[in-house]
């Protein structure tokens, strides 16, 4: 006969400390212009139509006249409430990048630092940090498409002096308030946000998107 095995259940009390998250608020002021260039809803619709029509879609199709003002309006981030904002992920990505010059581990920052949103984009729900001071101005920049063809791109630019309040949520078991403040300072003076920032992946940037920390 097979011997029956006796299973003994043991209750164990576990004491697990939750992450100690804290929110730090930073008022920032632009010391260089801030420029946006989001992927517009119109561009997405045109891409969708082209893909739906297949290989026959482009044949014999006339090129529409470019509406520069519509392009300008389409590349701005506007919240559901109607105010202009900077994508919150721009500050989070910049903080992670700034770890390289602060001696911090980027992998730790990915799991530790987050940006509190003031609202969400009315088109694609991108989390936004509200621009509290400054208004966009119409500017045109020349650039090259992926094919190498020159193009004129209308973009919104906030001149130096623009302001925003960035709320950073971080894990105090990984970073101190001093560490987070150091990262924010480095973002403003070395990394930048938006188009033409020094840390741009496609170029060395134009020196745009720089800011300083300031008092309330």
Read off the CATH number of the domain in which 123 is found: 3.30.70
pLDDT of residue 68: 77
pTM: 0.83
Residue 192 inside a domain? The answer is yes
Residue range 27-78, pLDDT digits in tens: 999 999 999 988 655 555 555 555 556 655 555 566 677 777 888 888 999 9
Residue 72 inside a domain? The answer is no
Residue 111 inside a domain? The answer is yes
Q: Is 20 helix (H, G, I), strand (E, B) or coil?
A: coil
Residue 42 inside a domain? The answer is no
C-alpha dihedral, 119 to 124 to 126 to 130, nearest 10°: -40
- Distance CA(178)–CA(184), nearest Å, equals 10
Residue 68 inside a domain? The answer is no
Residue 4 inside a domain? The answer is no
Residue range 185-210, pLDDT digits in tens: 999 999 999 999 999 888 888 999 99
Question: 164 lies in which domain range?
Answer: 21-37+77-136+158-214
Q: How many domains, the chain?
A: 1
Residue 143 inside a domain? The answer is no
Question: CB 98: neighbour CB atoms within 10 A?
Answer: 23
Q: Does 121 have pLDDT greater than 60?
A: yes
What mean pLDDT, rounded, does the chain reach? 87
Average pLDDT estimate for 145-172: 90
- Distance CA(175)–CA(168), nearest Å, equals 12
pLDDT of residue 148: 72
Average pLDDT estimate for 156-173: 97
pLDDT of residue 141: 83
Residue 57 inside a domain? The answer is no
Average pLDDT estimate for 151-169: 94
pLDDT of residue 67: 79
């Amino acid at each position: 006969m097979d011997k029956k095995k006796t299973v003994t259940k043991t209750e164990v009390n576990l004491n697990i400390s939750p992450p100690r998250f804290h929110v730090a608020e930073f008022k920032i002021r632009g010391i260089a212009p801030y420029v946006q260039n989001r992927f517009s809803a119109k561009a997405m619709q045109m891409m969708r139509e082209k893909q739906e029509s297949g290989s026959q879609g482009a044949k014999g199709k006339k090129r529409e006249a470019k509406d520069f003002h519509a392009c300008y309006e389409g590349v701005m981030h506007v919240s559901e409430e109607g105010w202009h904002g900077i994508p919150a992920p721009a500050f989070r990505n910049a903080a992670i990048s700034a770890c390289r010059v602060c001696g911090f581990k980027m992998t730790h920052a990915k799991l530790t630092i987050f940006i509190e949103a003031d609202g969400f984009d009315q088109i694609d729900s991108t989390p936004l940090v509200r621009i509290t001071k400054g208004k966009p101005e119409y500017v045109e920049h020349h650039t090259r498409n992926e094919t190498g063809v020159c193009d004129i791109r209308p973009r919104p630019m906030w001149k130096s002096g623009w302001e925003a309040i960035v709320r950073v949520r971080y894990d105090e078991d990984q970073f101190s308030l001093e560490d987070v403040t150091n990262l924010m300072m480095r973002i403003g003076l070395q990394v930048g946000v938006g188009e033409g920032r020094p840390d741009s992946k496609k170029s060395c940037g134009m020196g745009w998107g720089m800011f300083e920390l300031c008092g309330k």
